[in-house]
Amino acid sequence: MPNNLLLSCAGRRVELLQIWKRTFLDLGIDAQVVAADAQPFAPAFVLADRQAIVPKVCDPHFVDAMLRTCQNNDVRWVIPTIDTELPILSEARETFLSHGIEIMVSDTETIAIASDKRRTHEWFVANGFPTFRQADIATALADPDWVYPCFAKPACGSRSIGARRIESREALCQRQAESDGNDVVESLGHGVEVTVDAWISPKTGKCTCVVPRQRIEVRDGEVAKAKTIDAPEIIECVRNVAEKLPGVRGTICVQLFYEPSTKEIALMEINPRFGGGYPLTDAAGGYFTRWLIEDSLGLPSTTNEDWMRNLVMLRYDQSCYIKG
């Protein structure tokens, strides 16, 4: 039976690709990691066992091309890595399963909740989770009690693209003039920004490991410096979020603000995929990739919560060279 794994939209996810290769080595499984991307010079291609150029996610032939790529490369597992492919691959999950290929993606309902920040906020409120005050721009401008500064961002966006701190009502008016009508405005967070990785068994739906990592420095929307932190209240909150969401499979990462002095939490976003900073969680002992394969193959589970607290990740640029 095929045992290869395809990393979709692999791009710059070199660390994640290396983690998958190590996972199969540690488990003694003869498997190769296939990197798929629309760009012929994707850095992940350099270290992948196999490479596949596929259409962009927005291309109507993307799903068919992905299925052919999986069949041609003996792929058993597909790991999505970017937000825009999640709804498409979630819809196609049953089709791939009929060919013996498992896409590690959550149900379409969870993807829909996570992909629109308005729906995310509504879901947090409806389920009693602590979150920010949120409104569309027109509602915020009409509210004489709206507090400035605040934060504006696209309702459907990622990597902090289009997100901006708004200092005054006049600045919000300017944002409204520039907006396509799809922005939301939120109150500012207090304390430290934390991204939390959670592991959820696709078979049982139980969340058995939660690793909070404080964001120390962010560059172009992705974490550059971070530290794992021991915060039981965050762990409990995110575990409840993970188990409440419908049909979560494998991993999600949740973004929030946390005030250590008061233990106050304000949930912000949900990303139902491996986060860009997941390598820190893996380095700390949150071996989500290993547990996912164990779960899928019915192997004895090694899941645990004995991960290293206060482990710091410092990222730096590194180049590779190929003959073009």
Distance CA 236, CA 305 (A): 13
- pLDDT at residue 275, as a whole number: 94
What tokens does 42 get?
């994707």
Q: Is 4 a residue whose pLDDT tops 80? A: yes
Q: Is the pTM for the entire model greater than 0.95?
A: no
pLDDT tens track for 151-204: 898 888 766 677 888 898 998 888 888 877 788 899 988 899 999 999 999 999
Distance CA 235, CA 210 (A): 6
3-state SS assignment for residue 30: coil
pLDDT tens track for 58-102: 999 999 999 999 999 999 999 999 999 999 999 999 999 999 999
> 119-123 long-range contacts, Cβ below 8 Å, gap at least 24?
120/269, 120/270, 121/184
The label of the residue with tokens 């730096």 reads 316
Domains, the chain: 4-105 (3.40.50.20), 133-186 (3.30.1490), 190-314 (3.30.470.20)
- Give the Å distances, CA to CA, from 98 to 95, 104, 133, 292: 5, 14, 43, 20
- pLDDT at residue 320, as a whole number: 87
Distance CA 322, CA 117 (A): 40
Are 34 and 7 spatial neighbours (Cβ–Cβ below 8 Å)? yes
Packing angle of the helix pair 288-297, 14-27 (nearest 10 deg): 50
Kind plus residue range of the DSSP H or E element containing 125: helix 117-126
Q: Is 147 a residue whose pLDDT tops 70? A: yes
